[in-house]
Structure 1
Amino acid sequence: MNTVLVVDDEAKILDIVKSYLEKSGYRALTAGTGKEALAALRSNKVSLLLLDLMLPDFSGEELCRKVRSESDMPIIMMTAKVDEESIIRGLRIGADDYVTKPFSPRQLMARVAAALRRADGPSSGTGPGEGRNLQRSFPRILSWEALSADTGNRRVTKNGATLPLTPNEYKILILLMSRPQKIFTRDEIIDSIKGDDYDGFDRAIDSHIKNLRQKIEDDPRSPRYILTVYGMGYRFGGEDGL
């Protein structure tokens, strides 16, 4: 049974979301502050975090950064901030998805299920069309220069050191490495790694790419691995990628 931690300072939201999670077959934990959330994370094996951005002791963004520095669990932000920049900032610091308040509990459950499916790994094949075929055809080992990915163990290393990638960063990297020199549009990346259950916008992909470059590139401002093809999308920089 997957355990979901819900962090929000509104008791009513905690009660509603917990009830829907339990009806959907999850073990649900709740926390009303950032400190309570950290204590719950340290004492439980949490599979997914539902995180409000506005907490009484410290911000959801701060908690997201801390969790992401230690774990690649899916993080879905729950926020009343509906402007695009706030959402992009949340994605940039490590969130995998977001819902804006007020939200439909049924939609939230669908997003929880989708995030957990994506976290299961590339072999689950969540995307339609070419993306789904790609998910099934990844070689076990993908490597170029100092970068190597073991898709069986979901482990990415650079010069032998394991890189702490989020689930979306991992899937984007594996997708690009699987077809070196192919230019992937933002829509293709969204379709391939997220599937029909994702209704985000293409700038979210740019945020994930920026975060990924910070982790894999020697100089993120002059990338060698993930290259931007202006007006088109992104491609992996290896000659053959394998």
Structure 2
Amino acid sequence: MTLIFLIISLHITPPEVNVGDVFRVWVSSNKNNIKAVFIDDTIRFTKRDTVSLGFGVVPYGTVPGKYWIKVLFEAGMDSVSLSVLPTEFPAETLSVPDTMVKYAPKTAKRITKERKNTVVVLSEVTPRALFDEEFIPPLSNVTVTSPYGVKRIMNSTERGFHTGVDLRAKKGDEIRACNDGIVVLARYHYLSGRCIIIDHGLGIHTYYAHLDSILVGEGDTLKAGELIGYAGSSGRVTGSHLHLGIYINSHPANPMSLINN
């Protein structure tokens, strides 16, 4: 007797998102090996009982409008729409030491090497989920001091957009893992200072920067809420805080759209 593939329901939360937001694709089905495609990105799923859940992000620079997410399975395809809303990102002016925007050749070479290494780390995908529960804030109290997506102007020079959020944190405040995962980077970078990247599976990584100290090492397995370091002001900063980034398929996402969900 042949078991017919069945999708009982397919929906997205939320159905309308801003540029940079994380969205979730929910599939109720009696089959495994489900995947989805949004623009050019593959969305991977984790399954519990008959419900599969995948995480996607609207990349920075995506044109507003209606998009279709294709859900692929063994016997065919289904689709569901997602509305990307017009999103305005303001500019933010910062003053930092000139050495943090005008680099000596040796420093520029170091920064390029560190950026390339970070790109490689974020591009490595663990296809299965390493977590079972929701993403949680890295601090006991969360106040955003600089939001995702703002255009950064440093010492009168535009330096791209803010790829995460800055959270208010005093030197020595405890920083905890947003979810279960594996530490794939724990180093000192010129711009990011002491920083940590955690792989959570499904192409999802969290990034913690400007720490005063790091308590974990590369290869460590962590649980959600585990202490990983203390807040500080290392790297290119104007004061003590935590920079939190969330990346899905290497795209920087608005962290507040995931840890607030």
Rg larger in 1 or in 2? 2
| Same-fold status (TM-score > 0.5) | no
Q: Which of the pair is proportionally richer in helix?
A: 1
Higher relative CO (Cα under 8 Å, sequence separation at least 6) belongs to: 2
Q: Which of the pair is proportionally richer in strand?
A: 2
